[in-house]
Amino acid sequence: MEFPKGFMWGAASSAPQMEGSSSLGGKSPNVWDHWFQKEPRVFYQGIGPEETTGFYANYKKDISLMKELGFNSYRTSISWTRLMPDGHTLNDEAVEFYRDVFTRMLDQGIRPVVNLFHFDMPYWLYEKGGWDIRESAEAFALYAETAFKCFGDLVEDWVTFNEPIVPVEMGYLNDKHLPGVFNIRRACQAGFHTLLAHVKAVQAFRKNEHRGRVGIVLNLTPSYPRSENVDDVKAAELADALFNKSFLDPVVKGEYPHVLCEFIRNESIHVNMYPDDLKLIKDNPVDFLGVNYYQPRRVKAGNQDAEHVLDRSFLHYEWPDRKMNPHRGWEIYEKGIYDIAIQIRDEYGNIPWFIAENGMGVEGEDRFRDEAGSIQDEYRIEFFEEHLKWLHKGIREGSNCYGFHVWTYIDNWSWLNEYKNRYGLVEFDLDSGERRKKKSADWFRKLAESNRLPGEAACDETSIRH
């Protein structure tokens, strides 16, 4: 099961989850720094963004270890509040830090894929209104253009946003991100301003003729209906339009999906925009697409008596035949990665794309430690192998996928859950800061160096029930 020549193998992470030192080096607070300072009890075990995995202090060691794991690429992000603490002034110490990071990666043969936003809204901008206000799009465009100029000689693969739907969903339809409200109108407006920020960054990239290419990373979660009943199917279509196609269609096709527009009209939701905004979206498609895939979305018809509009539109459905990650509580459905591959091939012009995140979170990995002290995470190896078989099938059938990044290189800090669920190929010791390879690290090195899955039969789709 060989993968295409030049296939990208590596991992993904982000500045707020890896760097730590959030009060050092001239960095100003982002929303997570502020929230932790205000309500540390909300964060699992009271671990805040000041600590995390310490990449800011240990990046030289970490980059060398990435090389040992066989990485030929790595996706990270720039901290907006480190590079431009007040939104206007450039922080020279941050420029020096990121330039050294990217230079060392290149020296080790590791291609940097650099993301500009990973849920880390500057607190100064949040105080003004965050994604509720159009100014946020203008501020992001200035930040993006500054980053392109500072690092464009070292970076060829730029990502504007990672999972832009998540701050909208978790902050405006949930209380897991700030501002923590449930307001569908504000959610739609925040989503539009986020898309506008992306588009203005793409426009700046092309206008100034920077080298390389620019894309976006979306968490695509296929929506499967409970049945072929028309109400279940319509519910799945709307869920797909809201959580997948609300960004996927505009950034690739240049237009919003009809199902989403109809929903907004039916709910009398008004989204403020300028007359030329839709043309701006149409004229600035992405060069490539990153896809994060973890689990499917199972959907059934909504409850018409429910209080909230989304619950009236669709509800979660538990598939009786599902396979679960017992450590994380998420369904494991490997074929979903194949379904995404074919959808991109058939519905999105077979745009170049890569798996930007795929991984398995496990709580309490200490129990899987052997006598020598190494974590024997065969479950993670099996998780990756089964997904890669289905991805290989999609590539074999013509889908234009050029890489696979795991989440993540090393156990890192996560939003509110901190280090409760571990995802890394490398273990991070919270007490000592020591980095220790898990069994999956050696497996990944062999995979990356050989560019093939070892001695396994290709997946048989007839063995997977839909």
- Say which of 163, 169, 237, 365 is annotated catalytic: 163
- Say which of 169, 357, 365, 418 is annotated catalytic: 357
Cβ pair 278, 204 in contact under 8 A: no
DSSP state of 244: I
Phi, psi of 175 (to 5 degrees): -120, 25
Q: What CA–CA distance (Å, rounded) separates 77 from 271?
A: 30
Structure tokens at 125: 């901008």
Q: What CA–CA distance (Å, rounded) separates 27 from 202?
A: 25
Does a cis peptide bond (omega within 30 degrees of 0) precede residue 408?
yes
Angle, helices 135-151 vs 184-207, to 10°: value is: 30
Structure tokens at 194: 């986020």
**Separation in Å, CA 305 to CA 24, 309, 311:** 51, 10, 9
Q: What CA–CA distance (Å, rounded) separates 185 from 103?
A: 44
Cβ pair 444, 436 in contact under 8 A: no
DSSP state of 130: G
Cβ pair 165, 191 in contact under 8 A: yes
Cβ pair 331, 322 in contact under 8 A: yes
Cβ pair 35, 46 in contact under 8 A: no
The yes-or-no answer on residue 357 being catalytic is yes
Cβ pair 222, 236 in contact under 8 A: no
Cβ pair 427, 411 in contact under 8 A: yes
The yes-or-no answer on residue 51 being catalytic is no
Cβ pair 104, 63 in contact under 8 A: yes
What are the catalytic residues? Answer: 163, 357
